[in-house]
Amino acid sequence: MEKLLAGDELSCLNCGACCAHFRVSFYWAEADINQIPDHYVQALTPSLACMRGTHQTMPRCSALEGEVGQAVKCKIYHHRPSPCHEVQAGDEKCMRARARYGLTTSHDYTGQKNTPSEMAY
């Protein structure tokens, strides 16, 4: 089912797809540096950690609150790890995550206007 966001704009606050699509892994010390509470962090290897809930077949970050495609927020927004900073609204990763949830827009991540036939993922 294809959905358009209100106003046909990309907004992280009514999306959250990236938080429920990618594994969010990072160097373990980043959790301490960013003061990420331990209950949001899962060890992967001796040098890597990830956000709890993102290292599974159907990932969903445990810090994500709300319903993907509706109203969402990050419980640790100001302390989130570097991979969370890397995804920007409308970039390739964003659009891939949004496609998984049927969240489309009439503009692709390059800012080019899409026709309805181009919006079919």
Query: What is the pLDDT, as a whole number, of residue 11?
Result: 86
Query: Does residue 113 surpass a pLDDT of 80?
Result: no
Number of domains present in the structure of the chain: 1
Query: What is the pLDDT, as a whole number, of residue 107?
Result: 52
Q: How far apart are CA 17 and CA 72, in angstroms?
A: 10
- pLDDT-derived band at 104 (thresholds 50, 70, 90) equals confident
Measuring CA to CA, how many Å separate 57 from each of 54, 60, 72, 84? 8, 9, 21, 19
Over residues 57-97, the pLDDT tens digits come to 999 999 999 999 999 999 999 999 999 999 999 999 999 99
Domain residues for the domain of 45 are 3-119
Q: What phi and psi values does residue 59 have, to the nearest 5 degrees?
A: -65, 145
Query: Does residue 116 surpass a pLDDT of 50?
Result: no
Burial of residue 66, with CB atoms counted within 10 A of its CB: 0-12 exposed, 13-18 middle, 19 or more buried: middle
- Kindly report the average pLDDT of the chain as a whole number: 85
Q: How far apart are CA 121 and CA 117, in angstroms?
A: 9
Query: Does residue 4 surpass a pLDDT of 80?
Result: no
Query: Does residue 45 surpass a pLDDT of 50?
Result: yes
